[in-house]
Structure 1
Amino acid sequence: MPADDPTNEQPTGADLTRPDLTREVVALFAAIHRRYAQESEAAAAPHELTPLQAKALLAAEQPVAMRRIAEQLHAEPSNVTAIVDRLESRGLAERRPSPGDRRVKLVAATEAGLRVIADLRARTPFASQPLERLSGAQREELRDLLRLLLGD
């Protein structure tokens, strides 16, 4: 863009401190979170799953270590054990020993679990693909801006 193009202007000090703009951006973050959570809850309900159980099942689409599920859910491993116990009791997931390390337990969706996963994905178009409307370059720019906000 040419230097005299107004769309190429850098933010001024006044723009950076506009409380109304900050509130709007924070409200948009909250709206995205609400939409994601509501859609995920609504998709899990017909299967009598909590949102965390549904997320754990989705994580176990391919065999995955319990600690990895804990990381993805931002949960304590002991909480994940209870979640996986519930999925196992419903026949949606199973524990398997890791072929590479007998100390590690993998969690894998069963055939019934894979059917539930397919339905969860079908019922969560926004939660499954929240960045679908963005181009690859826009996704990278958004990632970089979010990293900047977090100081990463």
Structure 2
Amino acid sequence: MSTPQKTRRPDPLTLEVVELIGEVVARFHQDYEEAAAGHSLTGAQARLLSLLSLEPMPMRKLAVKLKCEPSNVTGIVDRLEARGLVERRPDPADRRVKLAAATDEGRRTAKHLRENLRFAREPLAGLAEEERLALRGLLRGMLGTDEAGPGAAG
């Protein structure tokens, strides 16, 4: 029979790593908001456009990925559609479902947004490939995924 584990307090190293992750997240969001503003987009619009530049998605899936209500996603898609960055199209698998999809201009804008994220790109470029691969592996481990993301090789 096993004994219940006591909840241990995090050690100082773990606490420092948690704080560093929080700082990285905060700086990334700030950089993302600035890049979005450069295209007259809100952060939420930029995040949605970035998701749609990878693949068309139904509104409900977008809401889950953005952690918001489907009605909020509808408003964001409406505004991006009015600017010609997103379009609605029927889902080939179920024509009752509408997919939101980035237009060519929307994909160009999303690419430009990614290219203008200076905070993470510059320090990462200073790391050796092996270090970036190790960091990617550690981050995937934290997220509980082995999925290869965009641009992931090896």
- Scaled to the shorter chain, the TM-score interval is 0.7 to 0.9
Q: What TM-score, normalized to structure 2?
A: 0.71
SS at 1:49 equivalent: coil
Ranges in structure 2 where 5+ consecutive residues have no aligned partner:
1-7, 145-154
Answer whether contact 1:44 1:50 (CA < 8 A) is retained: yes
2:94 is matched with 101
SS at match of 2:99: strand
TM-score of the superposed pair, with normalisation by structure 1? 0.72
Letter in 1 for 2:96: R
| CA apart distance, 1:67 | 1.8
Q: Once superposed, what is the RMSD of the aligned Cα atoms?
A: 2.7
Written as runs of structure 1 = structure 2, the 5 A alignment for 1:4-43 is: 17=9, 20-43=12-35
Residue in 2 that maps onto 1:150:
none
Instruction: Kindly provide the amino acid, as one letter, of the partner of residue 119 in structure 1.
Output: H
Which one is further off, 19-28 or 37-46?
19-28
Q: Classify 1:92/1:128 alpha carbon distance in 2 versus 1 (closer, same or farther; 3 Å).
A: farther
Q: Secondary structure at the match of 2:95?
A: coil
Q: Does 1:76 align with 2:50?
A: no
Q: How many matched pairs?
A: 132
Residue from 140, 144, 147 that aligns with 1:143:
140
* Alignment gaps of 5+ in structure 1: 1-15, 148-152
